[in-house]
Structure formats: C-alpha cells, structure tokens
Structure 1
C-alpha cells in the first residue's frame, strides 16, 4: 500500500555541499560548477524517470536552465556557511502510473512552492533493482531556491518566511491530501497520513474507531539509506559508527574548528538493517498475538451467546442451566405448555443479554477483520523485507544472523 514520506533539509555550504553537484546527481546530467571549476557528470546514472525545472510565470527565462540556475545560486552566496537551497524528498505512490506520479508531483509543486515565488528543480527516480532498490521505491527530489524569482532573476534577499515551522506543517499535510486525491481519482482505496502512528492511533481511539486504532498499533520502521544498500551490494559488513556532521565550528579559542560528532552506535540498535529487521519481526509478533487474543475473546463470547440464547428461548434460569442432565427434559416439558409469568420474565432478561452479546460480537468482528488485515500486512512486509535483504547479499545475511531463514 502507499506510504507517506516527506523529508526536508537545507543544503549548506558549511557541510561541504555543492548545490550544482546535487542538481547534477539528482537529474542525472552533466553540469559545470563554475565556483569550484569542476564538472559533475552523472549523465550515465540510471533510474531518473523525469526531470524538470518549474519557475513562476513571468520570471527570467534563464531560471529554467539547470546549470545557469544553480551556478547563479552558488555565485550569489559569499559566506562559507551559506544556505544554498532547500531539498524535499517525497515517497510516491507505487500504485499510480509514471504519468500519474508526474502529474501528482507537478500539481503539488505548482500550488505550494512555485505559487510562492520559488524555482523548483524536480527529479523523479524509479527503483533500480541492480542497485539494491526496493521495487516499490518510487520517489522525488525537489530542490527549491531560497530567494524569490523575478523577471530579472533571483531576489538579492532571501525570503525568511519560507523557514516557518507552521509552513512546513502545512506542506506536510498538503502532500498527504494531494496523494489521497490522486489515489482516489485513479480508483485506489489506499490512504496516507502525515501524522505519526501514535497520533493516528490516539485520534482513532478518541472517536471510538477501534478498527482503525488497531491498524496503527505498530512500531515505526527506521530508514535504511543508500550507504547501507551499497555496502551490502559490495559485500561489506554493515556497521553503525561515529560520524562527523554539521558545519565546522570553533569550540575553544586557539583550537582548530571541529564538527559535531554523532554517536550512531548509541542511537542504532545494531546496524540499521538489523534494527529495521527487528522492528518488522516485532510488528509481526505483536499482530499475531493481538489476533490470537481477539479470536479467543470471540470464541468466549460465542459460547456465552449460545448460553443466553437457550435461556431466552425456553425461559430457563441460572440454576436450571447448571443441571445439565435435566436440561433436555425441562425443554421438552416447556414445549408443550405456555410459559409462566416468571419464566417470561427470565426469557425477556435473557433476550436482552443475548442482544447485547450480538452487538459486542458484531463490533469484535470488525476489529477482528482489522487484526487479520494487520497480520496479513505484517506477513507481506516481512516477506518483502526478507526478499530485499537477500538480494543485497550474503554479508548482510550473516550480519542478521540469518534471522530471515
């Protein structure tokens, strides 16, 4: 089913990034970076299904030239810690066709970015199995200018309002809405949601939707990036290690500038792939456990319903029901005569209890269908994940302790 992913990062020169190199890589093109006097050639890159630059109407025509655009951005920033662009990564619904995915992303960009004056450099990537990509991994990269486009080029001053946290929330929610409209328009029942699993589960419980709440009762998976996939394809062991991240900063006077150290071994539980595998397995075990509990509860309620149905039919009391060896005889006697007032009162009471049990069983049936859907989904996810890991090679299988066999 379709999944939601919306990740944002600011491209910073202090992190050693070149927006010209990024644009070349994502678009699969050969671009010359005039600031560094380097040519970035990714023209042989596979998996680039669509590339396009979208600019506001009436803006300078040269802004739709990829090399001219991003070189102008690089040349316009003088600081060593300059922010060059904003990148947004989107997961695209695999249910849609290529043309439908292009239409979806173009509509979203036009409404939320280009309409505000940004220039958007769009690249849509399709999975390349030989690179270790999951066959459902259709996604888009969008590079956005931090300055508004004008008939003369880019404004000399950055638009700070685009850094708003509230605006980011609007974009995240809007991307879910755009996907859902596209899926519905093309005949799919799949729905995505920008909120966390915990938030979606809490909202479902608040409105009394136990069925939906159950579907969200799972652990979120962790992202497995290209470094892990490439290591697997090269037959290298996967290890979480300490990495320097962020810009160079002077911590103490007289000492060399250093970057912040991110302690991935403390964050990750094993390497990323084994951690993700553990989450997939836990979700599967949790789904099966919940299903078993619900099936046990259903069987128990059905036994109670049979008990109260029998009492409601013949006006039997609790003491009579305990005399199992006499029940058939009492039933035979009451078939031949009208029930007394006391027996009718017992019958009415039992009928109410039976109706209550039927309503509970109907509600439980809906929850059970969700639990079976959850269990089936976790099984499919486990198999898909296992097949994908096997494609990456034997080294990864050894790292996982062959847990998937």
Structure 2
C-alpha cells in the first residue's frame, strides 16, 4: 500500500549545517565546500538512484552545476543564523518503477517549484536492504533555493511568499493528486491521502466505509531520522533543568535571570522509544475494537439462528383461516427481512474484523522491527566501545 509523506524545513546555518555538504550527501558526489575550505566526499554512498538539477529556462547556466550553485548560496548568506535553502522530503510509491518515479518527481518539481523561479536539486534514494532499510522506502530529497533564479544568477532578495503555510498546504495536496494520477496510469489501485487521519476517518464514516474508518483509528506516528537514531544509541539524551529564553527581571530578584525549564518532568524518552510505545498503543487499541467486533458478530449469529427458526416454522405449518394465514405471512416476511439485514451486517463485520486483525498485526510487527533495530544498534555500539583502545587518564 502506498504511503504519503511530504515535509519541508529550512536549512539553517545556526544549526551548524552546510548546504554544500547536504547536496553532496544527497547526490552521493564529491563537492568542495569553499566556505569551510574542505572537500565533502560521499561517492561511496549507496542507494542514490538519480540526482539532477532543474532550473528555469531563463536562468544562468552555471546554476545547473551543483558545486557552483550551493557555494554561491553560501557566499550570499553572510549572517550566522542565515537560512541557506529549503529542503522538501517526499515518499515515493514503491509500486512504480524507477523510470515512473523519476518522471513523477521531474513533473512535480518543474510544475510546483521551478515554475516559480526556484532552482531545484533533487536526489532519488532507494532503500538499501542490506543495511536494514524497509524495501518500500523509496523517497526523494529536494533542495530549493530561497531566491529566484534569472539570467544573472540568484536575486539578492529572498522570496518570502514561498514561506507561507498556504503554499505548503497547496504543495501537500498537489503531491497527493500527482501520485494518485501516476498510480492510476500504471494500473495500480493504491491511493494516497495528504489529509490527517481524523479527517480521512470522518470522510470514511460519511461514505459508510466502516472497515476503512476503523483502520484509521490509529494515532499518528513520528518520523525518526538518522540524527535521532544515532543519538538514541551513541549518546542517549539526558534531560536536565535548563535556563532558556532571554534574561528578564522578576519580582523576586532585581537581577535579570533566564526562565527555568523543567525538562525532566516532560521527558518521554527518545524518539525510537516514543514510536515503539505508540505502535504498541495502536495495537492495543485495534485489539479492543477487534474484541468488540467479535461480540457483535456473536450477537448477530444468535439472532440469525432465532429468525431462521421462525422462518422454518412459518414454512412448515400452514394455518387455517384468512387472518391466521395473513399473520403467518407477516411473520415469515419479517423473519426473512431480518435474516437479510443480519447477513449484511455479518458481512460488514467480517470485513471489519479481518481488516483490524491485519492492522493490529502490522503494528506489532513494526514495533518488533524497531525493537530489533534498537537492539542491533546498541550491540554494535557496545562492540565498537570494546574495540576502542585504552587511553591512560
């Protein structure tokens, strides 16, 4: 089943990031980072299927060179807290072929980013199964300039309209529609939806799709990137009481102090631990709905036996007298009507039951997968620690 994901975030220099290094990593190439005076080499990186730069027709030719483009962006941004670029991450349908995924990405990037004047550097990644990646995890990283491109290069002033929430919402909706059209042309019935789980469930209930509505009862999960995965293993985060925000005077002290934040009281553990708890919670929620469906099916089967016996009795005995025959005919019609209704609801509950069983099992399986990943990572970290040579204090 195809899954939907589109997220956008700025690339911030204040977080210690280099857009040149990011472009090299995503494209799996060697680039020279002029601002840092280093070379970034990711040519041995696996999983990069295709990397390409798209720019408006009237844009300068040098913008199509990855090293020239992103070094120019680094030079233009002089502030230490500058936003260097915008990154868009999108999941790709695993049902499509590599060529179909490439055409889908090219078409969407041209239509919604390049047409506005952005330069788009995108890289399509395929899962590396040998590293434990999910074989369905095809995705694309798109690095976008925050300035419009023209014949002279990039404009000096950033285009602030591209930062609006309305534009992001339009991109999310358009990406879902684009994927669904591509899946339909390729002959696949799978569809994606950009809306929240609650919104999708409300629509399913309006359409009478009880099985689909029940499948959408789960709580949303969170994304776990490489930084969070590494932090959970190499250096698990420890919550502390910290001073945050600007210094202000309070009624207690005339000396300006920063606000105290009690992080230990709100700590929920690492992102991996959090998602494992969420998957377990979703599985338990579906288990309760499955038990409720089983009880409803048992009640309907009891009623089915009762009305079937009434129908058989009405067919077996033929009473005398007009009123008695009319009463028996009414009982027979009532019993058969109820049997038809019960047969319909039993079919619906069967569909709901098996759908819920499948979803519950998938949640438990995914929780086991995350648990195994965490165990392997911890074992790998412990092995590396044992191999590390002893250094005298």
Q: TM-score, normalised by structure 2?
A: 0.83
**Which range moves more in the overlay, 281-290 or 386-395?**
386-395
Match of 2:26 in 1: 26
Partners of 1:268 and 1:343 lie apart in 2 by 74
Match of 1:310 in 2: 309
Q: 1:307 to 1:250 in 2, by over 3 A?
A: closer
Partners of 1:13 and 1:237 lie apart in 2 by 23
CA contact (8 A) 2:300 2:346 kept: no
Partners of 1:140 and 1:26 lie apart in 2 by 9
Q: 1:78 to 1:274 in 2, by over 3 A?
A: closer
Partners of 1:350 and 1:237 lie apart in 2 by 73
Q: After superposition, what is the alpha-carbon deviation per residue over 1:112-150, rounded to whole angstroms, capped at 9, x for unaligned? A: 111111110001112224544333222111001111111
Match of 2:334 in 1: 352
Matches within 5 A, 1:3-402: 3-230=3-230, 236=234, 238-239=236-237, 241=239, 251=247, 269-315=268-314, 334-335=317-318, 338=320, 340-349=322-331, 351-352=333-334, 354-387=336-369, 389-394=371-376
Partners of 1:354 and 1:384 lie apart in 2 by 45
Partners of 1:380 and 1:219 lie apart in 2 by 14
Q: 1:113 to 1:376 in 2, by over 3 A?
A: same
Structure 1 unmatched runs, 5+ = 316-330, 398-405
CA contact (8 A) 1:113 1:120 kept: yes
**Which range moves more in the overlay, 1-10 or 348-357?**
348-357
CA shift, 1:262, in A, is 9.2
Structure 2 unmatched runs, 5+ = 250-254, 380-393
**Which range moves more in the overlay, 80-89 or 33-42?**
33-42
SS at match of 1:269: coil
Partners of 2:268 and 2:125 lie apart in 1 by 30
Partners of 1:306 and 1:139 lie apart in 2 by 53
Partners of 2:20 and 2:246 lie apart in 1 by 28
CA contact (8 A) 2:60 2:150 kept: yes
CA shift, 1:173, in A, is 0.8
SS at match of 1:118: coil
CA contact (8 A) 2:280 2:363 kept: no
Partners of 2:140 and 2:39 lie apart in 1 by 24
Partners of 2:234 and 2:79 lie apart in 1 by 38
Q: 1:118 to 1:264 in 2, by over 3 A?
A: farther
- Number of residues of Structure 1 aligned to a counterpart in Structure 2: 372
Q: After superposition, what is the alpha-carbon deviation per residue over 1:337-390, rounded to whole angstroms, capped at 9, x for unaligned? A: 556423522532452354245235414523431331232133134325424542
Q: 1:308 to 1:41 in 2, by over 3 A?
A: same
Q: TM-score, normalised by structure 1?
A: 0.81
CA contact (8 A) 1:268 1:275 kept: no
SS at match of 2:124: strand
Q: After superposition, what is the alpha-carbon deviation per residue over 1:215-272, rounded to whole angstroms, capped at 9, x for unaligned? A: 211122222221354467xx6575565699xxx986569x9xx9x9998766663332
Q: 1:19 to 1:103 in 2, by over 3 A?
A: same
Partners of 2:241 and 2:171 lie apart in 1 by 31
SS at match of 1:8: strand
CA contact (8 A) 1:91 1:139 kept: yes
